[in-house]
Structure 1
Amino acid sequence: MRFLYTLVLWLLLPFVFVRLALRARKQPEYWHHLGERFGFYPVKDLKPVIWLHAVSVGETRATVSLVAKLRAAYPDHQILLTHTTPTGRATSEQLYGDGVMRVYLPYDYPFAVRKFMRHFKPRLGILMETEIWFNLIHEAHTAGVPMLLLNARLSEKSAKGYARVASLTRCALQQLDAIAAQTADDAVRLARLGAQRVSVMGNLKFDIAPPQALLAVGVSLRRQFGAPRKVFLAASTREGEEALLLDAWQARGSAEGALLVIVPRHPQRFAEIADMLGRRGLSYQRRSENRVVPADVQVVLGDSMGEMFAYYAASDLAFIGGSLLPFGGQNLIEACSVGTPVLIGPHTYNFADATRLAVEAGAAVQVSDAAELILVAQRLLNDSGALAGMRKQGVQFVAAHQGATDKAMNVIAKVLG
């Protein structure tokens, strides 16, 4: 089965370059460091390497508490972070600077992942969340590199996909030295696919400490927005959601003078959203202008990277994007950690457990569509008591579910000692 899988990868190789070219039209960084995607690396460190793979922005942010504890526990090791997307790599640069090495993970061709293993010779490999690459895991196993799957999550939808290649999935999962899942449901789904040595660790994203520097930026942002004015944030919105949101926002006459702040998930869409706002006749200002927002401005376009904590801290209420349309939702824990009340749409399979717990705790409200989203937002923005209660519940909700990092370190210690 792995031979057939690899054969398909080779047949798809021309389309890999086409896909890179298409993505690079909007985000030129996709052409940068191209050799790394095939196992060619200019950087090397003489220290023994602990390697973590974090695909993009969310997974990279989730590594913060784990990287801090790894550096403290293993000071003679070099931390290597691998990524798949330019935004993930940029997030790593913002979080860690030169404190870690960072490269792209090679595509899952045997020659490329073999070169990766030979170049870095990691003492340990850690895959974050749902990264099951069949050749990567096989080559690590062959090279004697212990591999862990930490903070693992597997939705029903993803589990059905992996079940279609059951023997390939089972082999890869059984070559992992340990798996620590976010929830018991995730652990059960992984076990059904053949995983062994599965434990439950909770979610690393709860072990978050909002950066004080970004909270200070949030205070400054709030002054720019206008302290007395209510601020409704649409965070990490995905393609198609902004139009739905603005339709409902304009249909209800905005929210009695409230400022709408839209921060698209992907920076290559900033210009697209600016055009959308202009076509709709909405007065808007870009965050990058970095100036006071006049009272007649209806929308702020958050065209900056790495400031999500600041946006949350500057807002009265936040909608978490990726959930109005079936993208699976984004991380609501960051908003709750700074005490920002949360609204979230119906599509939350990427964060199903965290969403359920947040709603049960009173830190979030789940809505069915854009019309209900704006209706509930208007109601809450006019109810300071309700917002205060949700702020308190959000902070308590995050604190109550912390501890995943220590459990992850226990799993790692059994391998590294």
Structure 2
Amino acid sequence: MNAQLSLFAYRIVILLLTPILLLALFIRSINHKAYRARLAERLGFLPNHFKKNGIVIHAASVGEVLALKPLVTELLALHPTKIITFTTFTPTGSAQVKQHFGDRVQHCYLPIDNPLSTHLFLNKLVPSSLIVMETELWPNLIAQAKNRKIKLQLINGRLSDNSMKSYRKLTWLITPCLKSFDDILCQSQDNQVNFLSLGADGDTTIVSGNLKYDIRLTDQTIAKQAELAGYLQNKRPIWLVASTHPGDEEIILNAFQQALEAQPDLLLILVPRHPERFNDIANLCQQTYQTVRRSEQSTVLAEHQIWLLDSLGELMAAFALADIVTMGGSFSHIGGHNPLEPAFYHKAIIVGPNMSNFKDVMQTMAKNQSIVQLTGDRDYAAQLANHLGYLLKDEERRISLGDNARKVVDENQGALATTLEKIDQYLK
């Protein structure tokens, strides 16, 4: 199909789907009211006070925002007069931007990718550069930016093998999109191969490394660590399970029940991924265990068995409290969440069998004996309980795993410098 015809067809479809997309946001807002707010931004109507002629940086949600924190912080230091508009799609991502950067950046939602909304968005901001994270390929936005001669960069590029199955069916739309970028910076060689196979330009598609290795502790995070530690009354072994999804909690609580038999004073810090699930998870935990919620701002007493972190923006700091960390989303099709943040803290890490979102990271960590991964489709709760019991008893092994994990982080940093250099070439 002709590229112009393909884009025209896509625009018509998105225009027709826009009311349905807005309805989907409204339905989601039933359990998460933040999705109902600022709907005008979803249609490209930005606040009147927003300034023009800066750069736009887009990260879909929380994980991407956290990975971009060091980069945006460096850009603000290097270019203090440059206007940066930091966009997200989700309210949780939005909250992270506001929490970490306040009024140092302009923040709004990236609009729905229909031609009218993206036209309004670009007209309001008139950016010199548009920088997107990982696999944020929005054909209409990118085509309009290209026509306006806005520099286009895709950073920390990631295209998993699973994603490739879908994208190969859409090459008529995706290939022109990829060819529009001035730079595509990939996390790894495997990702570079996937981008090139979809038609990305070989001269501008390079391996830069993974920004998620370039972790920096801010003063805010350090202060948050101290605040959270102040809620813990007794020194006791702690298992933190991060970013859980539906189905994860049942596995975790089953494993926790088994682990308590050998380690009765074990504290589980449970951190659900999505705020709209906080109350349901609290009810689930309270059916069996003495549970205290972070939102209650109560001290975690010796009799408390679970501390539910029903808060936003505290996970990175909470990792510092744990002896063992498990990443949620790794027991199902979700594909896991970033194990490098607990690795930064020298933590022993256990993950489920599916970490496909971090294929290259997992290969590196496994090679360096710095992570424990469950196998097959056997009883995950029993496997978890066995590994927990072993690591709680064997302090030397636990410390070795954690130290090896931090070594992986240290030895693979550098993507930040490369990415900054590529972005900076268009900001001078």
Shorter-chain-normalised TM-score: which range? over 0.9
Q: Structure 1 residue aligned with 2:112, among 90, 100, 107?
A: 107
Q: 1:74, CA displacement in angstroms?
A: 2.2
Which of the numbers 371, 385, 396 marks the counterpart of 1:385? 396
The 5 A counterparts of 1:27-66 are 27-46=32-51, 48-66=53-71
SS of residue paired to 1:225: coil
User: What's the counterpart of residue 276 of structure 1?
Assistant: 284
Report the CA distance shift for 1:383/1:218 in structure 2 as closer, same or farther (over 3 A): farther
1:70 Cα offset (Å): 1.4
CA RMSD of aligned residues (A): 1.6
Where does the alignment leave 5 or more consecutive residues of structure 1 unmatched?
none
CA contact (8 A) 1:339 1:394 kept: yes
Q: How many Å separate the matches in 2 of 1:326 and 1:211? A: 33
Structure 2 residue aligned with 1:195: 200
Q: In the TM superposition, what whole-angstrom CA distance separates every residue of 1:293-344 from its partner, at most 9, and x where no partner exists?
A: 2222211111111111221001101001110111011111111112222111
**Relative to structure 1, is the Cα distance of residues 314 and 180 closer, same or farther in structure 2, using a 3 angstrom cutoff?**
same
Q: Is the 8 A contact 2:259 2:388 kept in 1?
A: no
| Structure 2 match to 1:90 | 95
Shifted more, 241-250 versus 180-189: the winner is: 241-250
**Whole-angstrom distance in 2 between the partners of 1:45 and 1:274:** 40
Cα 1:377–1:208, aligned 2, differ >3 Å: closer, same or farther? Answer: same
- Partner SS for 1:297: coil
Residue aligning to 2:12: 7
Which deviates the most, 34-43 or 283-292? 283-292
TM-score when scaled to structure 1? 0.96
> Amino acid of the residue matched to residue 266 of structure 1?
H
Report the equivalent of 1:407: 418
Q: Deviations over 1:46-70 (max 9, x none)?
A: 4631110011001111111211221
Q: Which amino acid aligns with 1:78?
A: I
Q: Secondary structure at the match of 2:30?
A: helix
CA offsets per residue over residues 108-166 of structure 1, 9 Å max, x none?
00111111111100010100111000101001011111110001101011112111011
Give how far 1:78 is off.
0.8
Taking a change above 3 Å as real, the CA distance of residues 72 and 217 of structure 1, as seen in their structure-2 partners, is: closer
2:316 matched to 1:309?
yes
Find the partner of 2:240 among 220, 233, 248. Answer: 233
Deviation at 1:253, TM superposition (A): 4.2
- 8 Å contact from structure 1 (residues 249, 255) kept in 2: no
1:347-379 CA-partner distances (Å, limit 9, x unpaired): 111111112212222321111333212210121
The amino acid across from 1:304 in the alignment is S
**Deviation of residue 6 (structure 1)?**
2.2
After TM superposition, the structure 1 stretch with the greater mean CA deviation from structure 2, 253-262 or 391-400, is 253-262
Counterparts of residues 212-223 of structure 1 (less than 5 Å): 212-222=219-229
- Range 386-395 or range 210-219, more displaced: 210-219
Name the structure 1 match of 2:3: none
Give the 3 Å change call, closer, same or farther, for CA 84–262 of structure 1 in structure 2: same
Residues 205-231 of structure 1, C-alpha deviations (whole Å, 9 max, x = no match):
111112344334334534533453100
Question: How far has the Cα of 1:289 moved from its partner?
Answer: 2.6
Asked if the contact 2:347/2:399 (under 8 Å) is kept, the reply is: no
Give % identity. Answer: 35
Corresponding residue for residue 173 of structure 2: 168
Structure 2 CA distance, aligned partners of 1:255 and 1:379?
10
Question: 1 CA distance for matches of 2:135 and 2:262?
Answer: 39
2:134 counterpart of 1:139: no
Q: Does residue 210 of the first structure (1) align with residue 221 of the second (2)?
A: no
Query: Which is worse superposed, 4-13 or 159-168?
Result: 4-13
Distance 1:3 1:199 in 2: 30
Whichever residue aligns with residue 414 of structure 2, its letter is G
Pair 1:345 & 2:352 matched: yes
